[in-house]
Structure 1
Amino acid sequence: MSEWLIYRGTGAPHDGISDLPPAPPWRDFDGGPLVPPAAPLDAATERRLGVQRRQARNHRPGTRERELVNAALYLRRPLLVTGDPGSGKSTLAHSVAYELGLGRVLRWPIVSRTVLRDGLYQYDALGRLQDLQFERVAGQPGRYADEPDGGIGRYVRLGPLGTALLPSAQPRVLLVDELDKSDIDLPNDLLNVLEEGEFTIPELERIADRTPEVRVLCDDGTTVLVREGRVRCRAFPFIVLTSNGERDFPIPLLRRCLHLQLEPPDKERLAGMVRAHFGDTAAERHEPVIDSFLARAPGDMRAIDQLLNAIHLTQQADWPEGDDTRQRLTSELLRPLDRAR
C-alpha cells in the first residue's frame, strides 16, 4: 500500500493521522486555545454505535475512494460523496473516524427546513427569558446569578458543524447527511464557513467586553470555553457531505469540495455489510440473497436496507422445507425502488 495514504481503508485502527503533513498555506488555520480531547464514550453510546462500528470495521473502500479521502485530508477540503441510497456514503465517514481514532462522528441530518445556524449553534432565548421572569416573580436571585452574565452560556449549544470547528489538535469528523434535501439557499450559505473555518455567535459577541469567555455546551455533550463569541478551527475537520444526486449544487460549493461518486457496491462490499450486521458467517449463509440483490437489470435502483430486511426476515421465520414463502418474500423485498409494481 502506498506510503502517502493516511487513511488505508483496512478497518484496523492506527495512529497514522499524526503523520498528516502540514496544511497548504491557504488552508492553514490558527484557532485556539485548543479544546481538550473528547471524553471516552460511555457504555450507552458505545452500544448505540455498535452497528456503526461494525460497519466501519468491515468497510473496504476501492482505490479511488481511498485516494480521494486522503486528498481531502491533505488539502483540508470537504468531500462531497454522491451515490445511490445504500452505497456506503455515510459509512465512509464512520470508517475514517474509526480507523484514524478521531472520535465519534458528528452528524448533521439535513431536511428542507434546515438553515446554516442549525448546524452552527442554537440559542434558547425564550428559555432564558422565561427563567428571568420566574426569578422576578419569586423575588429571588436566579439559579445562575453567580455565573457570568447570568449563565448565558447555559442557553447556547453548538451544533454539529459548530462543534467540528472548535480548535482541536486533530480533526473531528462531520457527516452532513443528504445535503440535496436542503433548501436552495443552504449550499450557498455554507460557502463562507467552509472557506474561513470560523463563525461567530452574536449573542456572545455583544457581551465580549465584559464577559470575554463563556462556557457553552457542544453537540457531543461536552462543554468548552468560547472566547469573544468567536469559534475558529485549528485542524480543519474531515467533512463528508452526502447526496443522493437529487439536485445539482452551485459551482462555488463544488469548487470548495472534492467530489467522490460511489458506484453500487459489489459482492465483496455487500458481504462486508452483511457481516457487520449479522455476524462473521452471515455472508456465506445468505449468499443466495446477496446474489438476488445483485441480479438486477441495468438502471434498477435498490437500497442496502432492502437486502438487510430480507436477510433479517429469512433468519427469523422458520418456514418448512419446500415452502416457497422465503423466495417470494425475498423477491418482494428486493423489488427495484424505481419500478412500478
Structure 2
Amino acid sequence: MSWKYFNGNCNEDQPEGLTKLPERPPWRQFLSRDEVDETKDKQYWKQLRDLARKDFRSIQRGKSFRVQLDKSGYSEIVDAVNAAIHLRRPLLVTGAPGAGKTSLAYAIAHELQLGPVLTWPITARANLVDAEYRYDAIARLQDAQLDKTRSGDDGDNETTSKEKPESKEEGDLGDYIRLEPVGTAFLPSLFPRVLLIDEIDKSDLNLPNDLLNLFEEGEFEIPELVRRKRRRGDVVDPNATVTVRTADKDIEVTIINGRVKCCEFPIVIMTSNGERDFPPAFYRRCLRVRMPNPTVESLLPIVRSHFDNADQSGWTKTEAHLTDLIGQFLDKGNKADRATDQLLNTIYLMTRDESPNQAEMKRLQDLLFRRLSEAD
C-alpha cells in the first residue's frame, strides 16, 4: 500500500478524496477520535463539500495545478505534502512569486475533497487572535441598549423590581462571535481542513512565535466564552455550549466551555517569497520545501490545463508558437522575475477570435512580460 495520499492528480473531474488517515505520531495526539460526534461530523463534511462544489473558481485553481517532476518522475513537493499529512506538521513553501505556492493548497483540497480552503492572507498588521475568532462587543452593547429601550427600561421610571418584566439577555453570546480561518481549521473533526497562511514573510516579527503554541498544542480558547457560566439557579453547567458562526458560509458549530481543540491537525500550507528568515524554533515545527522554478516542460501542461476549451483555430496558432513563447517568458536563462499569470494572460489574448495582429501582439507581449521587479 502506498504511503502517498496526495499525488497531484488534480485534473480528475471527480477525485476519490481522502477516505482515511494514517496513524498519528504519539507526540502529535490531540483530541481523541472517540470524543468527536461521528454523526454531526458527517453532516459537517456534507455541508463543506456542498460549499466546495459551488466554488468553481477554487475548483479550477485546484484542477489546473501541475506538479513539476524531475527526469525520474520524482517530485519533492508531493513527498513534502504527504510527509506533512503523516506527521501532522505545517508545511512552509517558499519560491518565486507566481511559482504555484498558493495554488498548491487548492490542489490538495480539491484532490483530497477537504472542503473549501481556509485562507489567512498575512499583512504587517496581522495577529493570531484575530485569525482565530472575532468578538463583536460593540454590536452586543448596541443590541443590549436597544432591548432596554424597547422594554421601556430607561432608568427614569420608579417601577419596582417586582413590577419590571423579567430581564432578558441581549441575544445569544454566540451571535456576536465568529470563528475566523485559523479558528475554523482547528475545530474538532475526523478529517483535516486545508489552511492557507499566505505570504507569512510579510508578518511582524512576533507572529511566527505566536503560532508556535497553537502548532504544538493544537488548541486555543475564547476568553469571552470561558468566562461565561451558564447557570440554572446555583448550578453551573460543566459543559457550557455556545453556537457560533464559522469562516464557512452559513455553517455554525457548537463550542464547549469556550475551548477549541483539533482532533486531526489541519493541513497547513504557509507560503513565503523568501523575504525574511524565521526563528529556529519555528523551523523546527515545520516541514520546508521550495517550489521549483518553472521550465518549458513544466509550464506546457499548466497552459494546456487552463486552455483545454480554447477555440481550435486560435489554439492551433498558439500551439505552434507555444514553446518559443514560453522560452521568451523564461528569458532563456530562467532568471526572469515573472509570474505564470503573465504567461496565461498573454496566451488568453492570442486565443481569442478578436485577438491582436502580430505587430500588436509583440507590443502587448513586451507589456505583459514586464518583470515584477521592474520599475514603471
Corresponding residue for residue 110 of structure 1: 122
Further displaced range: 49-58 or 118-127: 49-58
* Residue of 286, 290, 305 corresponding to 2:326: 290
- Quick check: 2:199–2:272 contact (8 Å CA) kept in 1? yes
* Alpha-carbon distance change, 255 to 148 in structure 1, aligned in 2, over 3 angstroms: farther
Corresponding residue for residue 97 of structure 1: 109
TM-superposition CA deviations, 1:117-146 (whole Å, max 9, x none): 1210000000110111111122269xxx99
SS for the counterpart of 1:290 is helix
Q: CA deviation at 1:285?
A: 6.3
Further displaced range: 82-91 or 206-215: 206-215
* Residue of 258, 267, 272 corresponding to 1:243: 272
Residue 170 (structure 2) pairs with residue 164 (structure 1): no
SS for the counterpart of 1:329 is helix
* Residue of 214, 223, 236 corresponding to 2:242: 214
Give the Cα–Cα distance (whole angstroms) in 2 for the partners of residues 185 and 304 of structure 1: 32
The one-letter amino acid of 1:263's match is P
Further displaced range: 76-85 or 296-305: 296-305
* Residue of 55, 63, 80 corresponding to 2:61: 55
- Quick check: 2:66–2:302 contact (8 Å CA) kept in 1? no
- Quick check: 1:55–1:276 contact (8 Å CA) kept in 2? no
Corresponding residue for residue 198 of structure 1: 219
SS for the counterpart of 2:18 is helix
* Alpha-carbon distance change, 133 to 148 in structure 1, aligned in 2, over 3 angstroms: closer
Structure ID, larger Rg = 2
* Alpha-carbon distance change, 16 to 66 in structure 1, aligned in 2, over 3 angstroms: same
Aligned pairs for 1:19-168 (under 5 A) are 19-30=20-31, 32-34=35-37, 36=41, 37-38=44-45, 39-40=47-48, 46=53, 49-61=55-67, 62=69, 63-139=75-151, 150-168=171-189
RMSD of the alignment, in Å?
2.6
Give the Cα–Cα distance (whole angstroms) in 1 for the partners of residues 334 and 8 of structure 2: 29
Percentage identity across aligned positions? 43
SS for the counterpart of 1:220 is coil
- Quick check: 1:55–1:273 contact (8 Å CA) kept in 2? no
- Quick check: 2:143–2:170 contact (8 Å CA) kept in 1? no
* Residue of 259, 262, 285 corresponding to 2:288: 259
Corresponding residue for residue 330 of structure 1: 365
The TM-score normalised by the length of structure 1 is 0.89
- Quick check: 2:118–2:194 contact (8 Å CA) kept in 1? yes
Q: CA deviation at 1:74?
A: 0.2
Give the Cα–Cα distance (whole angstroms) in 1 for the partners of residues 115 and 19 of structure 2: 15
Structure 2, gaps ≥5 residues long: 70-74, 154-165, 232-236
The TM-score normalised by the length of structure 2 is 0.81
Q: CA deviation at 1:252?
A: 1.1
Residue 284 (structure 2) pairs with residue 272 (structure 1): no
- Quick check: 2:144–2:170 contact (8 Å CA) kept in 1? no
- Quick check: 2:48–2:116 contact (8 Å CA) kept in 1? no
Structure 1, gaps ≥5 residues long: none
* Alpha-carbon distance change, 146 to 254 in structure 1, aligned in 2, over 3 angstroms: farther
